[in-house]
Amino acid sequence: MKRLISLIFFFSILSAYAQDQIAPDWAKNATIYEVNIRQFTNEGTFRAFEDHLPRLKEMGVDIIWLMPIHPIGVKNRKGSLGSYYAVKDYTAVNPEFGKFEDFKNLVAKVHELDMKIIIDWVANHSSPDNVWVEQGHKEWYTLDSTGNLQPTIGTDWWDVADLNYDNLEMRKEMIESMKFWLKSADIDGFRCDVAGWVPMDFWVDAKTQLDEVKPIFFLAESEGIDQHQAFHMTYAWEFHHIMNKVAQGTENVQSIISYFEREENYPNHAFRMNFTSNHDENSWNGTEMERLGKARMVMAVMASTIMGMPLIYNGQETSLDRRLQFFEKDSIIWDKMDLVDFYTTLNNLHHTNQALWNGEHGGFPQIVSSKKEENVLSYIREKNGDKVLVVMNLSPEAKPYKMKNKKIKGIYTDLFSNEEVSVKSKLSGNLAPWSYRVLHITTNK
């Protein structure tokens, strides 16, 4: 049976690595930014992207996540340039992006700016002409009834070959390939593609061995409590889809409240990643404008303040209003930098206000909305004297809001106007369609 590993082996690994996955201390109030090297600049190279690092640092970005940087397979390639997720060689860089030394220089520059860098890792599959196939390791792959390489079943990914996790030699080489990037380029971790489709005992083993080289930050493109056996952070996919549905009028505030009630089941140390866009959403499901419409700004505020590490997808600061082509060159146009201040303001609050920090370092959201207000959401988060009070209208109509709760008492600063706001136990007012107020008490400004 595909991907079966003996129970003895499985439980021996898990028992040896039973401790919680506590993220590195530097990640406790970090933000993350996704980069598509091909599309980020006209040149589409590491060197050209390097020039953007100072402004990203200024915008409050802490973690740079690079989409796959490896050579792309030619066999069964989609489009003229192919998918980044059809990896031909796990220990090389895509020559279109530059040389290996260029990548090392990029990592060094990121570190000079006191930022971190993680790379996308595709462990579920490779290109069908991967060097492993050329080296004669066909048994490392899932084979069909005729003995040929099998694409991942249930997908239209005919440009990749599914890897066989019953094969222990393949597992060993995969981990060695990951170690290569820690040892040779000094990266800080990995974002692991379709992590839920790869056996958990592999990730646990990989994380154990990688930490012996260098403590890493581990992000799973997956959702589920079980993923935190190996990973520090997982995707908040469900929350993302709820935000889309609320913006489209098919769900309301109650869906958000119910979601966070379920989130309490996650371990305290678990980080969750919030986003209004990423490469999959933008290319395949639509731009923010298509999915969220006039709600895109209020949803970005919620993603940044309600609980979790906020992600910015490259181009969001320039109101990216088109779907970037996935298999062709399609450069981002940086002429209109209209949201730089907006994201900088949110990121700075995430850094300085402990209530918004990630996982157990921050405060869990407490809903203070009136139950009668199905389209108005209000919540507070508190930690070590810091407090954030957020009020938002999640509807296309103007709405009044009214709350009465001793927890909201305090002398706040309005995040976007810098005005002082004194609140006792009551707060009321009116909100325009899809608008918001963010009030904060930050003791370490």
- Please give the average per-residue pLDDT across 304-315, as a whole number: 98
Mean pLDDT calculated for residue range 249-255 = 95
Instruction: Say if residue 7's pLDDT is above 80.
Output: no
Domains of the chain are 20-363 (3.20.20.80), 367-441 (2.60.40.1180)
Reported as a single tens digit per residue, the pLDDT across 315-344 is: 999 999 999 999 999 999 999 999 999 999
Tokens 């139950």 correspond to: 371
Q: Provide the pLDDT for residue 19.
A: 55
Q: What's the token pair of residue 27? A: 């990640």
Q: What is the identity of the amino acid at 433?
A: P
* Section 382-389 average pLDDT: 98
Residue 5 scores a pLDDT above 50: no
1 — pLDDT class (breaks 50, 70, 90): very low
What local confidence, expressed as pLDDT, does residue 21 receive?
87
CA dihedral over 410, 414, 420, 424, signed as positive or negative: negative
Give whole-number Cα distances, 45 to 73, 94, 107, 235, in Å: 18, 10, 13, 27
- In which band, very low, low, confident or very high, does the pLDDT at 85 lie, cut at 50, 70 and 90? very high
**Stretch 267-296: mean pLDDT:** 97
Amino acid 145: pLDDT: 94
- At 15 the pLDDT is 40
| Whole-number average pLDDT of the chain | 95
* pLDDT band at residue 8 using 50, 70 and 90 as cut-offs: very low
- Which of 6-20, 149-163, 387-401 bottoms out in mean pLDDT, i.e. has the lowest? 6-20
Compute the average pLDDT of residues 345-367: 98
pLDDT band at 444 (very low <50, low <70, confident <90, very high): confident
Whether the per-residue pLDDT at 16 is higher than 50: the answer is no
Q: What is the mean pLDDT of residues 423-435?
A: 95
401-424 average pLDDT score: 96
Distance CA 394, CA 432 (A): 10
pLDDT of residue 370: 76
What average pLDDT score do residues 46-70 get? 98
Residue 373: predicted pLDDT: 79
Average pLDDT of span 1-7: 42
Q: How confident is the model at residue 361 (pLDDT cuts 50, 70, 90)?
A: very high
Q: How confident is the model at residue 279 (pLDDT cuts 50, 70, 90)?
A: very high
**Residue 173 pLDDT > 70:** yes
Q: What pLDDT score does 445 carry? A: 65
Checking if the pLDDT of 12 tops 70, the result is no
pLDDT in tens, 209-241: 999 999 999 999 999 999 999 999 999 999 999
Give the span between the Cα atoms of 116 and 118, in whole angstroms.
7
